[in-house]
C-alpha cells in the first residue's frame, strides 16, 4: 500500500510542477498583416504565396501554368507532314522527294 501512495503522491507533485505549455503566436495581428501584405501568407510567418512568387515571371509562363492547373491545356503533340521518300511527289502544296 505504501508503494501505491508513493506513486500517487509523485504523480500529483509532477502534475503540479509541470507548467502548461501555450502556443506562441506567429504574428500578433494577422488581420493587419494580411491588409498591409496581401500577397504574403499569414499562416506561414510571411512566406510568399505561390501567386506572389509567380508575379515576376513573364505572361507566357502564367498562361501555361493557368492552363495546366485548370485542366484546359491540351496534349503537346507534334504534327509532322507526310513525306514520301520513294518518289518525288507533291503533297500539301510542296514538293517532296
pTM of this structure: 0.33
Evaluate whether residue 90 is within a structural domain. no
DSSP 45: T
Let me know the angle formed at the C-alpha of 25 by 39 and 32, rounded to the nearest 5 degrees: 40
For 46-97, the pLDDT digits (tens) are 788 777 777 777 777 777 777 777 776 666 656 556 655 555 565 566 655 5
Evaluate whether residue 16 is within a structural domain. no
**Count of structural domains, the chain:** 1
- Distance (Å, rounded) from C-alpha 57 to C-alpha 38? 18
In the numeric block, the cell 503533297 is attached to 91
Evaluate whether residue 57 is within a structural domain. yes
Domain that holds residue 40: 27-69
Amino acid at each position: 500500500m505504501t508503494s501505491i501512495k508513493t506513486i500517487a503522491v509523485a504523480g500529483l507533485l509532477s502534475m503540479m510542477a509541470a507548467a502548461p505549455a501555450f502556443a506562441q503566436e506567429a504574428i500578433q495581428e494577422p488581420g493587419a498583416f494580411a491588409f498591409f501584405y496581401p500577397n504574403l501568407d499569414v499562416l506561414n510567418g510571411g512566406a510568399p504565396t505561390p501567386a506572389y512568387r509567380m508575379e515576376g515571371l513573364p505572361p507566357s509562363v502564367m498562361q501555361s501554368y493557368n492552363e495546366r492547373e485548370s485542366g484546359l491545356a491540351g496534349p503537346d503533340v507534334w504534327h509532322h507532314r507526310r513525306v514520301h521518300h520513294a518518289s518525288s511527289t507533291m503533297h500539301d502544296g510542296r514538293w517532296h522527294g
